[in-house]
Amino acid sequence: MANSPQARKRIRQTERRTDVNRARRGRIRTYIKGVELALASGDAAAASAALKAAEPEIMRGVSKGVLAKNTASRKISRLSARVRSLKA
């Protein structure tokens, strides 16, 4: 257990950041799921629109430290490849 005031404050800050990061990660997953559902339905226009909405949200997760840059780039790349293959 934390004994110093600094350590107690750190615990409070960590709990708050954890809640924010968890919400942000969930939001990213929701956007990705939207792209997945559009891909599953076979609607290229909807999939493209969903990807266009998801991409900034994923990159925002990178800037906020929720995702690693390469992880986000990989997710976007794979999703966009699937959307492109659906259009063709």
Q: Express each pLDDT in 19-64 by its tens digit.
A: 999 999 999 999 999 999 999 999 999 999 999 999 999 999 999 9
Name the amino acid, one letter, at 24.
R
Q: What are residue 49's phi and psi, to 5 degrees?
A: -65, -40
Distance in angstroms (rounded) separating the CA atoms of residues 72 and 16: 24
Per-residue pLDDT for 88 more than 90?
Answer: no
Per-residue pLDDT for 1 more than 90?
Answer: no
The pTM for the full model equals: 0.88
Structural domains of the chain, with CATH: 5-87 (1.20.58.110)
Q: So what's the pLDDT on residue 70?
A: 98
Q: Do residues 36 and 54 make contact, with C-beta atoms less than 8 angstroms apart?
A: no
Alpha-helix residue ranges (DSSP H) falling in 3-68 = 5-41, 44-63
SS3 content of the chain, % helix, strand, coil (to 5): 85, 0, 15
